Amino acid sequence: MNRRTLHRAAALALGLALAGTAQAAWPTDKPIQIIVPYAPGGTADALARLVAENLGPKLGTTVMVMNKAGASGTLGEADAARAAGDGYTVLYTATPYSINPHLQKLPYDPRDLQPVTQVAEAPMFLAVGRASPYKTLPDLIKAGKQAPGRLNFSSGGQGTVQYMGAELLMQAVGMKATHVPYKSGGPALQAIMAGEVDFGFGNVSALAGHAKSGLVRPLAITSAARNPNYADVPTVAETGVKGYEVYEWNGIFAPAATPREIVQRLNTALREVLGATAVKARIYALGARVVASPPEDFRQFLAKEEARWGATVKAAGIKKE
């Protein structure tokens, strides 16, 4: 029996031991910690802080956000996976969670985490700089197919949905473009605006202001339907890439040893918070929409996401590091 198996068995045993006491008392006045495995300032961090701000009063205790960035989110995820299953540590993570297992050896076992709820999902713009000669997505695709590898695109790295969204598009239409990775999503978006790259994907909220000022030109949005605030921007599927739909998702997980009753109570409280009109409005202002799913629905969603990104990585020939 290896170390991870022993750790999981011990954690589950602890969870069972807590079942008769912690469940009845949870939550006490002990603070609940939300681990965000990304740096402050991004969409996931902003949404996690919004959740924490409203979840604390709902549960009658303090809810704090702790950022633990590094290794595409896996360092913070590992901390959450190793935490006690007592309901006082949860993880708030995003799309790379379902991509990273196909790109790298994880510092934790995903089975040490269990889904609580999918909080939200946000579409992306596929955008070009204002000086770009490409006025439509079909124009860009045509150029990419005529000269494979000549066009380039930016992203915050292979594990990001910005990169994977581009790879999925290229595989769907049969074009090739050169990936230019940046240290994070911010510089990758700056590269689009500066014309350093031919195109790139970015969160709608991150690009919205630049689109309105004319610094970037959104060619398409990755959602199933057009965004009412950008009604002139077609969906990727509308432009001819049938079935294309990609979102940046955010969700909350708990250590696997957390008793089912605590997970359910946490899920109920979170769904009440996310259902509040003011919270939904603030999430919408960040370019996302509330999902607030039950744990099992989130589990099924994750299985589909992991299968899709696994197939995309395999088709791209990317080797796990």
pLDDT in tens, 63-77: 999 999 999 999 999
- Tally of CB atoms within 10 A around 67: 18
Ranges of each domain in the chain: 3-119+249-316, 122-239
pTM for the structure as a whole: 0.90
> Residue 315: which of 157, 164, 199 has the closest Cα?
164
Q: Pick out the chain residues at pLDDT < 50.
A: 19-20
3-class DSSP string for 103-114: CCCCCCCHHHEE
Q: What is the dihedral of CA 297, 115, 259, 77, to 10 degrees?
A: 180
> What is the four-CA torsion angle of 274, 275, 279, 280, rounded to 10 degrees?
100
pLDDT of residue 219: 98
| Whole-number pLDDT of residue 42 | 86
Q: How far apart are CA 45 and CA 36, in angstroms?
A: 7
Identify the CATH assignment for 3-119+249-316 out of 1.20.1250.20, 3.40.190.150, 3.40.50.970, 3.40.50.300.
Answer: 3.40.190.150
pLDDT in tens, 14-33: 555 554 455 568 999 899 99
The CATH class that applies to domain 122-239 reads alpha beta
Tell me what pLDDT residue 41 has.
Answer: 86
Looking up tokens 């006690």 gives 84
